[in-house]
Structure 1
Amino acid sequence: MSGADAMWLHADRPNHLMVIDGIMWTAEPLDPARLRRTVQERLVDVYPVFHQRPAAPAHPWELPGWEDDPDFSLSHHLHHAKLRKPGGDAQLRAFLEKKVRRPLDRTRPLWETWVIDGYGGGSVVFSRLHHAMADGIALAQVMLTLTDPTPDGQDPPPQLDVHRAGRLGSLVSSATGLLRATASLPTAPVTALKGVGVTRKLLLDVLPDSRFSHEPGVEKRLAWTRPQPLADVKAIGRATGSTVNDVLIAALSGALTRYLRSFDESVDRLTTMVPVNIRPPDQPLPRELGNKFALVMLHLPTADMSPRERLEEVHRRMEHIKHSPEVFITSAVAEGIGHLHAVEKPLVDFFAGKAVGVTTNVAGPQQPRYLAGVEVTGVLGWVPGSGGQTLGVCIFSYAGTVRVGFKVDAATVPQPERLVALVEAELDALRRLVTPDRAGSDASRPAATRSGPPTT
């Protein structure tokens, strides 16, 4: 277990479980026996951490490790449930919200999966995996290995877009180039100067006071948008000289601005943490998985401005991060914290207190996938927050659509469905930058994005 793995293992708190929560929903009911075989063959038999539990170190100065669970049984981890009638969004969210507040059993491997029937005409697969097993980017790819390109076929596991998965822009390629640049003498002074700026940002940044910066409780709420056509987002990006990520983050920033305004609050910026994959982009996941990522601080522009101005500002800030050494500095910090048992919690809380939460952006398969022979119609997943963070955001694109999901503190961020509506409204406003006569009404969207679970 690496220092970063150990940090997440030790970071569990009642109000912030270090558990990654993900859902996949299908068009038709799943066959439990076929799904069970798939989980056994593609997860448990391939990745040892799915049948291992945490092992205490032999000495206080050593890191914890993993050991085989002598009583391992798939039945301890793969469960079935059925929603109460009428089996709609309200029933699904109530089921999920009850589960996400419960810690995983540390005497067993740190994961569980629920197959939930009775949701519309299909099923929901709800997975919970501890962050110590792997980072969210790796676990998203692992869970997609359960799927196939056709109902009765299997191919090599689908790969996430390594230039977008888990980051807001092509940070890996930019970061790799920056690492090479630091080895050359002419750029060393520039890189050192940027490093000083990043260090000041990490140490001296203060989060503006808002309802997002209050101490979170145990209860969480989940909500997500309707599937938005990815082609629309790409068209906005092309027309404005920005990226898909810029467009989605601008919509999120505008939604947060309007949400705070509804409570008579306003701030110039809100900071969110963004995971950045630091694995080599051309290599498969190792069987040991683990955490290979960094966190960068993104200042979301939440001052009063037009949608175009906000998009331009997001683009400018993202370009700045891509060309800074922040990813390497924060990666080293995370690894070091895992070795400092005595002060680990205060350090985690100190850095977590710089942001309102974590925002992930994962580019899933571009074509529909099939789980145990049934078409997957949507995917979402949330990584945990820590310290005083109250706002988790997941952006997940799949099969030509993109959804934005929220996992929020129930007490400090009431009515997350309002955030959902505001994100959709901000995307409509950005669409009108490209097509001014587009009203953004539901009737203007393709039929595939107006119907089918889940909706909010």
Structure 2
Amino acid sequence: MEQLTTLDAGFLEAEDSDRHVSLAVGGISVIEGPMPDFASLADSVAERILSVPRFRQVVHTHLLDLEPPEWVEDPNFDLSHHIHRAALPHPGDDQSLYRFAADVMERRLDRDRPLWECWIIEGLADGRWAVLMKIHHCIADGIATMHLFAGLSDDGEGETFATEIRAAKDSTDHRGRFAGVSLNPLDWASGLWQTAVGVTNAASLAVEGVIEITGGLLRPASPSSLAGPLRKMRGYSAARVSLDEVTAICHEFGVTVNDVALTAITDSFRAALVRRGEQPRQNSLRTLVPVSIRSNDAREMIDNRVSIMLPRLPVEKDDVVEQLREVHARLTCAKGSGQRQAGSALISTISLLPFPVTAWAVRALTRLPQRGVVTVATNVPGPRERSKILGREVLSVLPIPPIALQLRTGIAILSYADSLVFGIIADYDAAPDVDELARGIEQAVAQLSAAAKALG
């Protein structure tokens, strides 16, 4: 039986810390019509999903958490508990789809069964239909989840933008530093020196990162409506922008796609604060930014491989170009400060401790009201080309992140073919303006695009 890692199990503990939280991640594929026969479609989806053993397994826990939870085969597995059919009310517009998605995502998955659901949704406008996949975060991170979702398509995953992330390009063998060691004794001295220097530099960088992360978590953010206790009900919306347009902005200003995405989020949150009658301050939007540490050789592993950064997004600035330059500077600083290395090292270190100690510690920490982080923004690379399901083209893919730990909004950024899509989930009562947040993101990208064209 395969055990859950400390990080995987931590998502279960975080969910248990708040009865209003569901730590499932989701994705909606909107597909051109007509919709195939439901029975044949369900059979096809089931065949592709069940090729992954995790979708037939349940989490088995131990008394008093004396051992880590384990993945075990579900002896009573019943597909009808996992694949469902639904229809949107007329006119089947985006708002109807978003409301349905929010309703599905706010409900917790049943821990007595494998932790996933698939909803086949008909009745979308223009003859379209959709597939909503929902899995628990303890199974996989964003990149692994996208790999699972892509497995539903006719051609499998295909080429994705995941190969461009920093971790994927890292060819270092993290499983052992002595693979391929030289047999020449003359090389040993220099090799030992380089290893010692590398370890020392990495340790120094990680310590600096720990200080940065700890400070970010302990220093309270400026009080605002963006953080606080969660209710059960959720709201969802999405924003879409042209990836070519974003790429042009990157080339003109010398920044990354992630910089542009986080700037658009910054400007939209600033507008939200002003709209709510609140003053945007320097410490109003400290953001949890998950960072993948998944290399290409681990692309098909179904688990969580992430570290974190905690940048302060510059909502205090009212000019979107100034915001972009500041986001780029702060992200560069965060990367150089060792936050990514610190998060990874911390997870690795915790994994070496006895599981009862880590389980009890995580349970205690997740029950404390954290006040340093205000939102989460995660960037998930998707397929480079448009996918097909049973011969029908997938027109768009909408990501759905979870929220927890006093974070009232969460944003997942997904690149799919020629689009960059922002999926926004929020506490329904605390953030009723979720649609305005989405429109604010689109408007910010449009303003950056106009500024880039003016410079060019």
TM-score, normalised via structure 2 length: 0.85
Q: How does 1:43-122 map to 2 (within 5 A)?
A: 43-45=49-51, 47-57=52-62, 60-120=65-125, 121-122=127-128
Q: CA deviation at 1:257?
A: 0.7
Greater displacement, 108-117 / 339-348:
339-348
What whole-Å deviation, never above 9, does each CA across 1:86-135 have from its counterpart, x for those lacking one? 21223222222222221111111011010000011111111110111112
SS in 2 for 1:327: helix
SS in 2 for 1:14: coil
Describe the shift of the 1:379–1:189 C-alpha distance in structure 2 as closer, same or farther (beyond 3 A).
closer
Structure that is richer in helix per residue: 2
Describe the shift of the 1:402–1:87 C-alpha distance in structure 2 as closer, same or farther (beyond 3 A).
same
Q: How does 1:203-222 map to 2 (within 5 A)?
A: 203-222=217-236
In the alignment, which residue of structure 2 is the partner of 1:16?
21
Given candidates 299, 311, 314, the residue that maps to 2:327 is: 314
1:192 and 1:71 map into 2 onto residues whose CA distance is: 46
Matched, 1:160 2:160: yes
The one-letter code of the counterpart of 1:37 is: D
Equivalent residues of 2:122, 2:129 under 8 A apart: yes
Q: CA deviation at 1:194?
A: 2.3
1:123 and 1:402 map into 2 onto residues whose CA distance is: 21
Dislocated runs of 4+, deviation >6 Å: 174-182
The one-letter code of the counterpart of 2:157 is: P
Q: CA deviation at 1:72?
A: 0.9
Describe the shift of the 1:67–1:174 C-alpha distance in structure 2 as closer, same or farther (beyond 3 A).
closer
Q: How does 1:213-362 map to 2 (within 5 A)?
A: 213-225=227-239, 227-265=240-278, 266-269=280-283, 270-286=285-301, 289-334=302-347, 336=350, 339=356, 340-349=358-367, 353-362=371-380
1:302 and 1:431 map into 2 onto residues whose CA distance is: 19
In the alignment, which residue of structure 2 is the partner of 1:393?
411
Describe the shift of the 1:178–1:425 C-alpha distance in structure 2 as closer, same or farther (beyond 3 A).
farther
2:271 and 2:10 map into 1 onto residues whose CA distance is: 35
Matched, 1:38 2:52: no
Gaps of at least 5 residues in structure 2 are: 178-193
Equivalent residues of 1:212, 1:389 under 8 A apart: yes
In the alignment, which residue of structure 2 is the partner of 1:447?
none
In the alignment, which residue of structure 1 is the partner of 2:433?
415
The one-letter code of the counterpart of 1:132 is: C
1:210 and 1:178 map into 2 onto residues whose CA distance is: 41
Greater displacement, 360-369 / 180-189:
180-189
1:357 and 1:372 map into 2 onto residues whose CA distance is: 37
The one-letter code of the counterpart of 1:381 is: P
In the alignment, which residue of structure 1 is the partner of 2:452?
434
TM-score, normalised via structure 1 length: 0.85
In the alignment, which residue of structure 2 is the partner of 1:3?
6
In the alignment, which residue of structure 2 is the partner of 1:146?
152
2:195 and 2:324 map into 1 onto residues whose CA distance is: 31
Gaps of at least 5 residues in structure 1 are: 149-153, 439-456
1:192 and 1:312 map into 2 onto residues whose CA distance is: 26
Describe the shift of the 1:144–1:182 C-alpha distance in structure 2 as closer, same or farther (beyond 3 A).
farther
SS in 1 for 2:277: coil
1:177 and 1:260 map into 2 onto residues whose CA distance is: 45
Equivalent residues of 1:352, 1:386 under 8 A apart: no
Greater displacement, 391-400 / 269-278:
269-278
Alignment RMSD? 2.8
Identity among equivalent pairs (%): 30
Equivalent residues of 1:175, 1:325 under 8 A apart: no
How many residues align structurally?
Answer: 424
Q: How does 1:154-193 map to 2 (within 5 A)?
A: 154=155, 157-162=157-162, 170=166, 173=169, 184=197, 187=201, 190-191=204-205
What whole-Å deviation, never above 9, does each CA across 1:359-399 have from its counterpart, x for those lacking one? 11122122111012210011122232221111110111212
